[in-house]
Amino acid sequence: MAERAGPAGLLEVLESLAHETVTGEPVARAASPGATGRERYADESEYAGELYARIHANFARLRRGEAMLLSLFDYIRELSKAGGIGELLATAARQARHLLLLDTVFISVPDDEPGRYRIVAADGQVTTATVGTRLPGGSTGFGGDRGLGRTPVWTPDYLADNGFEHTSDTDRMIAEEGLRGLIAAPLYADGRRFAVLYGGSRGMRRFTAAEVSLIERYAELVAAFVRSAAELARNADAIAAAERSLDRADADLADLRNIIELCHSTLDEPPNGETVSAHVELWAKALGFDIAVYGRDDRLVTASGVARPAVPADQTVLPAAEAAVARAAADLVQLGDGRSVVSVDFGGEHLGTLVARPERALTERDTMVLRLAVRVIAACLSKGPGQTSAAGGRQRDGLLAQLLRSDAPTPSRAVLARLRELGADLEAPHLVVIARTEPGLRAKAEQWAEAYARRLNGLYLARAEDVTLLVPGSDPSAASNAVREELASALRAPVTVGAGGPAHMLGQQVRAAYAEARRCLSAMLTLGMVGRSAAPDELGFLGLLLAGGRDVPQLVGSVVGPVFEYDDQRSGALVETLDAYFESGSNATAAAKALHVHPNTVSRRLERISELLGPDWQHPQRVLEIQVALQLARMRGGLSEDAGTAPSA
């Protein structure tokens, strides 16, 4: 104790405390009494200066450790902004180098070859350890599978340290980099090591317990961020896969809609040579390959395609053997040359043969659409001249569909001739009446419509739940009421009816009257007038607004959409405030009383409404539009479809 008296002894105590605080280890002293190390110095003041320098160095290291801990918070923020695992590991390499003041840091991951690793991120002055470099060695050596556990390992001078199993390749790379002090920290996720962080100094470096603990905690932090990034990447891949599935579903749905529309258009028009050829071309386009149709006498009716037609130009008669194969089979039959044949039958009667010539193997979709094409074309051919189904009822159905779809200013001569044959008065005004029935009653409704049209020398069209009539008359209100009463009685179910017209049959007025009737029916359904009948004149101002072809959701959105969006997003009460404000005669104080809020609250809400709708929203014309839009917003639904579109069969 005598030797420890005086300033030098006190400094020895302080130096021991500082060293143990920083390193976690006591100062190594000689075993012999009094051997403190001061004998190496000329006088006590020189020894005291050395002790002071040690104390200062230890506390500098302590302050640096504290600074490194503080910098971790900045590093966490930076890691959270990384755009992916690659950027995350590159950021981690740079941060780790600055964290421990290293010369170089690189991160390796398992390579495709078992037991080997590949560098995916590097920072600092490196020559050979660049990104993409495969590390030499395998499971042995510093940082290898057997040489590294779950905690970091380090060495002050790798090449001179025999505590690790050396490999010639690893030693060569370390020597080429000029590294001496090394530290390796594993990165684990879900109990599996997925990477190793290596740090090196080109001078001899003893890593303190605090530094080892710091790099271990930092490695755990990086591993957590990598796990999160990997989960985000997996979620992004799942979302992308779901979006691709939705895109495919949308494409399939659009394809299905096109096929359904094609079925309707094929069945709507009365068949003749021109329309059958057009339909065959459309079906060939939908299929993606050419087809040909032969009649019951095996003679060519029509064929699609120009560059590669389904049949040779000189083959106008189907070979007897191919026709026999098609008739004998109940489904598609593939021929040896890549073509497929199928019998076209309707109601148990053979009407012809369809020949398909795909340039590829038929897919499930091809087979499905081809079978549908055969059935629809068979139904189309069954309505042709000489077929039993070409009776007056079907002609009345097909003629009205043709009148509604035609863009010509006047019907063709053939259509006019058929109208006269059916007893239609071409000079008299006509009305279009559309009746909406309940689901499941189409067959009965179509049967009634055919009889009703025949009785009045008119036309009819039945599609889905709608029955459309073109009948003589000039009073749409009376006509709609008569149809509703008679059809509802026949079906024993409520019927909603709208009417339009009058119109002249020789012009395009029939299409205009149909659009008017369709808008009228849509407006009635929007207003909840189910089971009633009306003409546009009976619907009043609001009905006329709806019957004008307006899309109610679009109308409301264009006028007060921002206010509704604000309330939805922020759980606001701007719409409620607008209602109260208008009901109180645009009096903010009265509106506040009605809402049971402070007048200043109403004033602030009105200011917000001005920001959303514009400063002129209280102009009389704007006020009228806003009030109408708010009224419409209270109604259920909107127009179900474009009121001016002819029905799709």
Q: Which DSSP string corresponds to 193-260?
A: EEEEEEEEESS--PPPHHHHHHHHHHHHHHHHHHHHHHHHHHHHHHHHHHHHHHHHHHHHHHHHHHHH
Predicted confidence band of residue 391 (pLDDT cuts 50, 70, 90): very low
Instruction: pLDDT band for 601, please (50, 70, 90 cuts).
Output: very high
Sign for the CA dihedral angle at 139, 144, 147, 151 comes to negative
Is residue 106 pLDDT above 70, yes or no? yes
Got the DSSP string for 128-187?
S--TTPBPS--SSSTTSTTT--SS-EEESSGGG-TTS---HHHHHHHHHHT--EEEEEEE
Q: With pLDDT > 90 as the criterion, what percentage of the chain qualifies?
A: 15
pTM over 0.75: no
| pLDDT (mean) for 14-37 | 53
Check: CB of residue 548 under 8 Å from CB of residue 554: no
Q: How confident is the model at residue 390 (pLDDT cuts 50, 70, 90)?
A: very low
Mean pLDDT of 518-529: 84
Q: How many CB atoms neighbour CB 183 within 10 A?
A: 26
- Strands 533-534 and 496-503 turn out to be parallel
Instruction: Report d(CA 153, CA 150) in Å as an integer.
Output: 9
Of the pLDDT bands very low, low, confident and very high (cuts 50, 70, 90), residue 185 is: very high
CB contact at 8 A, 217 and 92: no
Average of pLDDT values for 223-247?
A: 85
Q: Is 281:273 a contact under the CB 8 Å cutoff?
A: no
State residue 129's pLDDT score: 63
**Residue 34 in this model has a pLDDT that exceeds 50:** no
CB atoms within 10 A of CB 153: 18
Query: Of all residues in the chain, what percent carry a pLDDT higher than 70?
Result: 74
Tell me the one-letter amino acid at 173.
M
Which has the minimum average pLDDT: 246-250, 555-559, 639-643?
639-643
Task: Specify the residue for token string 């038929």.
Answer: 362
Q: To the nearest whole number, what is the mean pLDDT of the chain?
A: 77
The pLDDT tens digits of the residues spanning 411-443 come to: 777 777 778 777 788 888 999 999 999 888 888
Higher pLDDT, 60 or 367: 367
3-state percent helix, strand, coil for the chain, nearest multiple of 5: 55, 15, 35
Report for 82-86, 114-118, 551-555: range of highest mean pLDDT: 82-86
Amino acid at position 529, single letter = M
Domains present along the chain, CATH in parentheses: 2-67 (no CATH), 83-232 (3.30.450.40), 269-382 (3.30.450.40), 411-546 (3.30.70.270), 552-634 (1.10.10.2840)
Q: How many C-alpha atoms does 215 have within 13 Å on its Cβ side?
A: 30
- Identify the pLDDT of residue 392: 46
Reduced to 3 states, what is the DSSP secondary structure of residue 431? strand
- Give the total residue count for the chain: 649
DSSP state of 614: -
Quote the pLDDT of residue 646.
36
Helix 392-405 × helix 413-421 angle, to 10°: 140
Enter the tokens of residue 311.
Answer: 């049949």
